[in-house]
Amino acid sequence: MSGDCEFCERSGGAILWQNDLCRVVQVDEPGYPGYCRVILARHVRETTDLDPSQRMRLAAVVFAVEDAVRETMRPDKMNVASLGNVVPHLHWHVVPRFRDDAHFPSPVWCAARREIAVPADRLARAAGLGAAVRERLLALSP
Domains of the chain as residue ranges with CATH: 6-137 (3.30.428.10)
The count of other CB atoms within 10 Å of the CB of residue 73 is 23
Report the C-alpha dihedral over residues 76, 97, 78, 108, rounded to 10 degrees.
150
Identify the DSSP state of 125.
Answer: H
Rounded distance between C-alpha atoms, residue 102 and residue 118, angstroms: 9
Q: Give yes or no for residue 28 having a pLDDT over 80.
A: yes
| N residues, the chain | 142
What pLDDT is recorded for position 139? 87
Mean pLDDT of all residues in 94-110: 95
Rounded distance between C-alpha atoms, residue 29 and residue 87, angstroms: 16
- Average pLDDT of the residues of the chain: 94
Model pTM score: 0.94
pLDDT digits (tens, 9 = 90+) for 41-61: 999 999 999 999 999 999 999
What pLDDT is recorded for position 61? 98
CB 118 within 8 A of CB 97: no
Rounded distance between C-alpha atoms, residue 96 and residue 111, angstroms: 17
Residue 1 — very low, low, confident or very high, per pLDDT cuts 50/70/90? very low
Nearest-CA neighbor of 45 among 102, 2, 10, 16? 2
